[in-house]
Structure 1
Amino acid sequence: MSSRIGRLRRAAILAVVGLGLGAGLSSAEEPPVQKQYIPLLTYRVGAYASSGIPIWAGIIDYFTYLNEAEGGINGVKLFWDECETEWGVEKGVECYERVKGGKDGSPVPILWPHSDPIGKALTEKAAADKIPLVTLNYGRTEAVDGRVFPYSFPVVLSFYSEASTAINFIAQKVGGKDKLKGLKIATVYHDSPYGKETQPALDLLAKTYGFENIQIPVAHPGNDQSAQWGRIRQLKPDWVFLRGWGVMTPVAVKTAAKTGFPVDHIIGGIWSSSEEDVRPAGAVGKGYLAITTYPAGADFPIHDKIRRFVIDTGKSNLQDKKSFGSVYYNSGIVDAIILTEAIRTAQGKFGHRAINGEEARWGLEHLDITDQRIDEIGATGLQPTLELSLSDHEGGGIARVIQWDGAKWSTVSDWIQADRDLLRPLILERAAAYAREKGITPRSDADSTN
């Protein structure tokens, strides 16, 4: 009897060991995911499609280049799909819910809302799901304070910095910041939360430098601006800061010309700085100025690489080859560089595999795109350096000014630095108010290693 029990015990032990070995073998046979899913929230239809289509082309062409020429990011290839939002909040949130779980075994590392209202609507959802929202040159200004907004990244140029660089450019043109005193500067803005975003910054800048701050709203979509530019004719401002979007910008330029306001004293904001914004204005657009962080042009080394591996091989996403090197196409390239470099940074800590949102947040908060790295990519002059941290989710605060010569954009300034130290207390105040409202305990610098 005892020998039989012994045999049964030995058999049971061997069975358990066998199961363990089998499980280990099964696990060893399952390689880590070697592809990274990037969902794209796009708007190829609707009022802003003409702006969006070249952006997606720049993003997708850069992804394709990385896959074709470099085998992805450290051997991890990228794959993507699109979800149509029409730039609207309801569809944007639906798309987010559809894609947030990842695809084919790959989690979502980072999500681009590509819409200011969608980005604001997703702030709390994305934080709860631990998926970083990257909003290049738009998004919640207070999210610059990453202690309160760990999963929102308004990278490179917040709306406050956009306003400040416009004012600093005017200061350069008139001979210094002391010469701003007594000037009249009018902001013609899209009458929406996006358009109103720069008002607190401009109030502070006007108080600091002594210029008169005039605010003139334009109702969406901005097809008729005769009343607004009639008011400008009466007020006679020295400069106009145009914060438009879509059809509002060319209508503003044409209406300004009709009322006799000099177009070369209009400075468009970051979303009024594309070819799509000035071509419809025709000849009267010549001389128009705008702020950008991604100048136009296809003569950067990265364009040669994309041309060789993507354009010439018939793998481009471009619908109109004339958009190759346009402002919005280049913005897509810069978007893609920032996202992929954040993933690359995260891989340095977590391994060469698909990265999840929490790991990508760490990668973003430790992102340091230096001049040397920009040169290696082939984007020198196309994008500024970018260093992010837990307490600074913007990182740049610099922009350049471009001018339309009737056929193309020319860069007419060096990188202009925003008055970030002056604006920082405003940002912290807004972030603290949000934290109180939502019951958020801000993170400390000690959390940056986590």
Structure 2
Amino acid sequence: MKLKQTVVLGAAIAGLLGSAAAYSAEQFIGLPSYRVGPYGANGASLYGGWIDYMQMVNDRDGGVGGVKLVWEECETEYNNARGVECYERLKNKGETGNSSFQPLSTGITYSVIDKVAEDKIPLVTIGYGRTDAADGRVFPWVFPLITTYWSQASAIVKYIGMKAGGMDKLKGKKIGLLYHDSAYGKESHAIMDKLAEKHGFEVVKIAVAHPGNEQQAQWLQIRKERPDYVILWGWGVMNSTAIKTAAKTGYPRDKIVGVWWSGSEEDVIPAGSVAKGYTAAGFNVAGAGYPVIKDIEQHVYAKGHGNMEKKDLVGSVLYNRGVVHGIIMVEALRTAQKKFGEGKALTGEQVRWGFEHLDIDAARLKALGASGFMPHLKVSCEDHEGSGKVKFQTWDGNQWKVVTDWVEADRGVVRPMIEASAAAYAKEKGITPRDCSKEM
């Protein structure tokens, strides 16, 4: 399949399409995307949704405060070394440099986390990355927004507790953790150990090597261990392979709960009919009926400006997650413009302030056409996560069905872990944490 590459500036594209809007400045947004390799299909949907949202803001609204959004993709192939190359390539582009770096990869996040403070570029890791970066006192330039992996794990354990008939029913049970053998997968270990200790269950960790298209040995181990539930902490082809192999070994799909990177159409459709009954978490939901998606169809696709080659994926889980990325990026710019002024390109430092003062409440979500689409997000100096909520969706064989309201993380467990880990990092690096009482 020929991939639609967006490697030229969005402003140039819109100019060729005959946009009549007059812009006072251009805000550059570098996109370290991946559209090739074993995770290319996932990246194409997510970055496609993000680009479509920005294109809509340009076409429908004339940009943000009169400022045109421009962007350029840099292909990382989900590879750490390439991700660092993209970071360096993009950081000085545009009038004021790159507005943020959002690699959609925990490994790349770890590779650049020490660079962003020096370069004054916010590192935004929505639903991934280093969890303890949620402590903004130690990590002022890093934003693991909406919900972290530790929050997600605690919400999944809450959901399993609901299925079991109460959290007290988890005592004595066994939960398998089938994880991608990478920095992303290993991010789950500390929190699962802590939750197992609190609730009295046993956790069995089983690694799957990248990319995960061979899992016979792992599922034979699961059959031997006989866990009551399995948490699927996968990405890309690993997910559909897990679902199909579970069926072959006789493990019921309704006992498998996936993380949000294991709960997309790209995960269940390749698995076929055996995926029916499988449930996964998500900090956004699927569906093309939301006003924000209808606006994209009206203002972008109806005019032939859409980024997606597979238009039937508009409204899918990962496409909608890309729209969430677009919403958060644009709202951070709007927030920063309220302090630093409209009509000009903002610096990375100014955009960082915008991220740290985000407050996308219920009223704002409604105005954006995204009520129920994503959770309320309120960020502060101390809290760079800002929500910690997910919904759970079950695949019915044809589409995802939401089966819960927003389920909140166990903050009583998660936040102390975040603060302790961040404090240890600060000590190791010689960082003096910020006094948030002095921040404005």
Aligned length: 418
Q: Secondary structure at the match of 1:107?
A: coil
Distance 2:28 2:374 in 1: 25
Question: TM-score normalised to the size of structure 2?
Answer: 0.93
2:59 counterpart of 1:68:
yes
What is the CA distance between 1:107 and its match in structure 2?
A: 2.8
CA contact (8 A) 1:183 1:238 kept: yes
Whether 2:195 is the aligned partner of 1:205: answer yes
Shift of 1:347: 0.5
**Alpha-carbon shift at residue 406 of structure 1 (Å):** 1.2
Contact 2:331 2:358 in 1 (8 A): yes
**Rounded Cα–Cα distance in structure 2 between residues aligned with 1:350 and 1:416:** 36
Indicate whether 1:174 and 2:127 are aligned.
no
Match of 2:138 in 1: 148
> Deviation of residue 228 (structure 1)?
1.1
Unaligned segments of structure 1, at least 5 residues: 1-30
CA contact (8 A) 1:297 1:326 kept: yes
Corresponding residue for residue 59 of structure 1: 50
Query: What is aligned with 2:313?
Result: 323
Q: Distance in 2 between matches of 1:44 and 1:222?
A: 18
Gaps of 5+ in 2: 1-21
Paired amino acid for 1:354:
A
Identify which of 25, 41, 45 aligns with 1:50. Answer: 41
| Counterpart for residue 13 of structure 1 | none
Cross-structure match for 1:392:
383
1:34 is aligned to 2:25: yes
Query: Deviation of residue 447 (structure 1)?
Result: 4.2
Q: Find 1:354's aligned residue among 329, 345, 350.
A: 345
Q: Is the contact between residue 55 and residue 332 of structure 1 (CA under 8 Å) also seen in structure 2?
A: yes
**One-letter amino acid of the counterpart of residue 343, structure 1:** L
| Structure 1 residue 427 displacement after superposition | 1.1
- The aligned residue for residue 301 of structure 2 is 311
**1:291 touches 1:400 (CA, 8 Å); kept in 2?**
yes
AA of the residue aligned to 1:44: R
Contact 1:108 1:355 in 2 (8 A): no
1:335 to 315, 325, 330: 325
**CA deviation map 1:209-251 (0-9, x unaligned):** 1111111111111121111111111111111000011111111
Question: Could you tell me which of 369, 372, 382 is aligned with 1:381?
Answer: 372
Query: What is the CA-CA distance between 1:76 and the residue it aligns to?
Result: 1.1
Distance in 2 between the 1:447 and 1:260 partners? 58
Alignment of 1:161-310 (within 5 A): 161-310=151-300
> Percent of pairs identical after alignment?
50
> Structure 1 CA distance, aligned partners of 2:216 and 2:248?
9
| Rg comparison, structure with higher value | 1
User: Any conservation in 1 of the 2:23–2:62 contact (CA below 8 Å)?
Assistant: no
C-alpha distance in 1 between matches for 2:303 and 2:54: 14
Contact conserved, 2:34 with 2:76, CA < 8 A, in 1?
yes
Partners of 2:415 and 2:435 in 1: how far apart? Answer: 17
Secondary structure at the counterpart of residue 401 of structure 1: strand
| CA deviation vs aligned residue, 1:299-319 (integer Å, no higher than 9, x gap) | 001111111100111000011
Q: Flag the 1:32–1:349 CA change in 2: closer, same or farther, 3 A.
A: farther
Residue by residue over 1:404-445, the C-alpha shift from the partner in whole angstroms, topping out at 9 and shown as x without a partner, is: 111111111110001012211111111111111111111011
For each residue in 1:130-171, what CA deviation from the matched residue of structure 2 results, as whole angstroms up to 9, or x when unmatched? Answer: 100111100101101011111111001101011001000011
Q: Is the 8 A contact 1:33 1:106 kept in 2?
A: no
2:67 is aligned with what amino acid?
Answer: V
CA RMSD of aligned residues (A): 1.3
Is residue 366–residue 389 contact of structure 1 (8 Å, CA) maintained in 2? yes
Is the 1:171–1:177 Cα contact (8 Å) retained in structure 2?
yes
Query: By how many angstroms is 1:270 displaced?
Result: 1.3
- Higher helix proportion (structure 1 or 2): 1
Find the aligned partners of 2:223 and 2:53 in 1 and give their Cα distance: 45
Q: In structure 2, the residue corresponding to 1:215 is in which secondary structure?
A: strand
1:431 to 415, 419, 422: 422
**Is the alpha carbon distance of 1:32 and 1:374 closer, same or farther for their aligned partners in structure 2, counting shifts above 3 Å?**
closer
Report the Cα distance in structure 2 between the residues aligned to 1:51 and 1:90, rounded to whole angstroms: 20
Residues 87-106 of structure 1 correspond to what in structure 2 (within 5 A)?
87-103=78-94, 105-106=95-96
Alpha carbons 2:96, 2:348 under 8 Å: kept: no
- What is the CA distance between 1:378 and its match in structure 2? 0.1
CA distance in 1, matches of 2:65, 2:214: 51
Residue in structure 1 matching 2:411, options 411, 420, 439: 420
SS of residue matched to 1:185: strand
Matched, 1:404 2:367: no
In the alignment, residue 266 of structure 2 is paired with which amino acid?
E
SS in 2 for 1:223: coil
Cα-to-partner distance string for 1:76-116 (whole Å, 9 max, x where unaligned)? 1101111111111111111111111131x243222211211
Cα pair 1:35 1:106 within 8 Å, conserved: no
Question: Aligned-pair distance for 1:33?
Answer: 5.5
Go from structure 1 to structure 2 and tell me whether the alpha carbon gap of 1:85 and 1:447 turns closer, same or farther (over 3 Å shift): farther
What is the aligned counterpart of 1:344 among 334, 338, 344? 334
* Mean Cα deviation higher: 149-158 or 211-220: 211-220
Change (3 A) 1:54 1:417: same
What is the distance in 2 between the residues matched to 1:193 and 1:263?
A: 26
Q: Which amino acid is the alignment partner of residue 185 of structure 1? A: I
Contact 1:83 1:95 in 2 (8 A): yes
Shift of 1:265: 0.8
State how far apart, in whole Å, the 2-side matches of 1:296 and 1:448 are.
37
1:107 and 1:354 in contact (8 A); partners too: no
Q: Distance in 2 between matches of 1:281 and 1:341?
A: 37
**In structure 2, how many angstroms separate the alpha carbons of the residues matched to 1:439 and 1:33?**
42
- Matching residue's letter, 2:405: D
